[in-house]
Structure 1
Amino acid sequence: MEFRYLGNSGLKISEITYGNWLTHGSQVENDIATQCVHAALDAGITTFDTADVYANTRAEQVLGDALAGQRRESLEIFTKVYWPTGPRGHNDSGLSRKHILESINGSLRRLGTDYVDLYQAHRFDYETPLEETMQAFADVVRQGKALYIGVSEWTAEQIRAGHALAEDLGVQLISSQPQYNMLWRVIEAEVIPACEELGISQIVWSPIAQGVLTGKYAPGGELPAGSRATDEKGGGAQSIKRYLTDEVLAGVEQLKPIAADLGLSMAQLAVAWVLANDNVASALVGASKPEQVADNVGAAGVKLEPEVLSRIDAVVGNLAVTDPAKTVSPDTRPS
């Protein structure tokens, strides 16, 4: 495992982060989830990402239980706040001071820790003044409940505004967590340049396009049993739907010779591709089986040469979504 600095800070994180969206507390049983976490630890992963909304808080609990007994100082634990939790009352979502200060306490309790290394705004809240949100995050940091703050799926303009307020408040906004992979590149035009200027790193989610870039979905073929595309319970089927077109899947098939030439699995090629971007500090990977962790970790330390990146672009570049306007948050708080 290799480690990278997160933004313009002294915090190092593993370049592969284990995330438990769509898996812990919903898609897989708790004992399998624990095995996956332990496989991540065995592979050298020290950074773990979750959110209070995942499985309506159950994912945080599962992760906390799985990490129990580990040396806390050797881990980097991240979580997020914004989406509805609990009984979904009128103040159970968003980035108001009330919801942030109440949510961090619940997250810490479920995770079994006194602090998180990174506390992230899971979307931008148009119903709350940004000044109120950033003041609440600053207070969480001053209380010692989070060491750093970050955002997820914010536009470049929103990141600039949030960073300026954080700087005025004396706290460090050091990360952005967007979706990013060979097929979804909406952050390249605006978000990445802004973050490079501000000293903010990307922790990218869905680097293998929720499994599509593993090559297991064949164009015109049946959906594999037990795959994310068949997960109606945890929401995986809906989230992966946009990638499951014959045109996209046919393009992915053409990546297989590239991976083979490099001695990599398709998943490793996909993860190595996002890590080739200098602004990416870590790639978030999940797993429903322990062996999937080992496969993804095989991308750590892999350096893709420029000619390989050009071959990949020639195959799937025209299939990629690049419109920066695709980075969006709900106009009103979800309930």
Structure 2
Amino acid sequence: MTKFKYRVFIPEFIADRIKFQTQEFEENDFLKARKSALTYLSKIISILVSEKIITVSDFKNEESSELIEIKDLKKSQENDKILDFAHLSECKIKFNYTEREFRKANELRTERKMGLKHTILLLGIVKLEIAHEKDNFVPVFELKNSDFPINQFVERTILNRMIPNAEVLNFSLLYSGFQFSIKEKHHQFREIFLTENNLREKELISNNLFFDFERKLLSIYNRRCMISFFIEEKYTASARKAMLHLQSVYGKLNYEYTPKVMIRNNFYTVYFFDFNAELKLIYSKTGNLYFRNSSGMKKADEQTTFEEIVCDENCKDELIKDLLHKL
């Protein structure tokens, strides 16, 4: 008879702090093993939140990009002892490391010749794992934010291999299709769109007029700042073709493409352009220094500040702003 084995993996430094260890759960019925493992994992995560070893944050509301800390984690509708892991995967996860843990991470980084960020993540990742037929454990959930989360069908695939001729396996998925990084973009775009009198940060396409589209795209070329291009869903396909045509004429623009952003019951495709990373300093043959800001090219003089050159009024990085003011 096939045995199904799940494991809740708790990194050493977390186990030392909460006095709970990595634990395995084995049953003849995979649903029983899974339920026991998820119950234990939910208990561990709840302790981590209550002890402030991790901080879980979600957005204040659907129209804001502001994050607020969550102290009472959302539970599964089927079982109030198990967390809603799909919702948790949409939240911001932050580990609050101590000085001792940073020192340990640095020692491990030197020993294994790894990057510091990767080492810290390795020390702090609580995982749910399943053993496949060779008894090797494979992660099916990791308590961290990632642009490339574990494929939510890994668990189902392994179980299908272990249960010959299995019928459709019905159980709650551990990941949402809408991870934090994606959710964050949608909230940011929604906030930009709904903020009044910020026309310097957004352009809206709500018709199929080619020359109107061309004028707005050329405006982006000239302003060369951070700006979001919102296109109503019914014009998305034709606007995409127009974008490709105009870029073949005027030159390629780098942008980030995000489809199906829901804003007050309407879908938009968003092209996000960010020129802040581009080189903005130009020296003329006569030795004059010019820099680009949101108004175009400007000549530097004795009164030009750090903020004007490095971080103009479109800069969103508060850390850089604060640093520049201190300088």
TM interval, shorter chain, is under 0.3
- The answer to which structure has the higher helix fraction is 1
Query: What TM-score results when the alignment is normalised by the length of structure 1?
Result: 0.25
Relative contact order, higher structure (CA 8 A, sep 6+): 1
Query: What TM-score results when the alignment is normalised by the length of structure 2?
Result: 0.26
- The answer to which structure has the higher strand fraction is 2
